[in-house]
């Protein structure tokens, strides 16, 4: 099923702050680590993303007096969920999970570093226009099909999947290699648009 001349595994945000004990813990987030390690050798080409915020980032509830994590605010580009401080550049929380196999990765893309714009997608920031450069990189390398895994299914993985489809890539979501935050039904809300956009869902056993 994998064609290493056209396919690339894109591993989204498997960082300590999204794993157990982290600042923005995704339930059972750690469970993706052995699953991703187990499939990563089947892919010749692997790219990792890293949520990478400056301290005081505008997506943090702490930057909005009177607001608590998981409330929303209106920013210039639309409604923004406010998060606990997480993935601050250079901290342990922003590091990849220690057991994640990262050595063979060909590229690490950082996102969310613009102080006033959040970035769920690996391709575009939440204003939908500031690019990370990943699309150009992948096209330049000749990849046309992306397999997605990581955290969190309903935020960064879903937004990456939808942007990848808009950029013209075939997208395969490896469901058991992802875990969701699932805030107020956000997982179900994310699945409909992904299905409608033609994101193919598989499990690792299908590879
Ligand atoms: C993420 C919320 C805030 C994610 C990143 O990786 O899904 N979610 N920053
Ligand atoms: Zn973030």
Read off the tokens for 128: 């939908």
Average pLDDT over residues 71-92: 97
Model pLDDT, residue 1: 87
Cα atoms in the 13 Å half-sphere on the side-chain side of 113: 12
Contact criterion met (CB below 8 Å) for 177 and 205:
no
% the chain with pLDDT above 90: 100
* 156 touches ligand 1 (CB under 6 Å): yes
Q: Hey, which residues does 163 pair with through a beta bridge?
A: none
* 17 touches ligand 1 (CB under 6 Å): no
Residues tagged active-site: 13, 111, 156
Q: What is the pLDDT of residues 111-154, one digit of tens each?
A: 999 999 999 999 999 999 999 999 999 999 999 999 999 999 99
Average pLDDT over residues 29-57: 98
- How far is the C-alpha of 134 from the C-alpha of 109, rounded, in Å? 7
* 83 touches ligand 1 (CB under 6 Å): yes
């Amino acid at each position: 099923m994998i064609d290493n001349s056209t396919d690339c595994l894109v591993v989204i945000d498997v960082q300590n702050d999204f794993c157990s004990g982290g600042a923005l813990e995704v339930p059972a987030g750690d469970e993706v680590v052995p699953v991703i390690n187990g499939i990563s050798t089947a892919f010749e080409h692997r790219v990792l993303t890293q949520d990478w915020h400056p301290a005081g980032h505008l997506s943090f509830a702490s930057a909005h007096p009177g607001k608590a994590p998981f409330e929303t605010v209106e920013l210039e580009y639309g409604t923004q969920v406010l998060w606990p401080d997480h993935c601050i550049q250079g901290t342990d929380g922003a590091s990849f999970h220690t057991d994640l196999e990262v050595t063979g990765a060909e590229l690490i893309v950082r996102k969310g570093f613009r102080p006033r714009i959040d970035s769920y997608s690996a391709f575009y920031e939440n204003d939908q226009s500031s690019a990370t450069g990943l699309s150009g990189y992948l096209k330049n390398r000749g990849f046309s099909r992306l397999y997605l895994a990581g955290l969190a299914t309903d935020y960064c993985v879903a937004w990456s999947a939808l942007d990848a489809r808009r950029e013209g890539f075939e997208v395969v979501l490896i469901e058991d290699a992802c875990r969701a935050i699932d805030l107020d039904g956000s997982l179900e809300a994310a699945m409909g648009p992904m299905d409608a956009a033609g994101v193919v869902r598989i499990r690792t056993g299908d590879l």
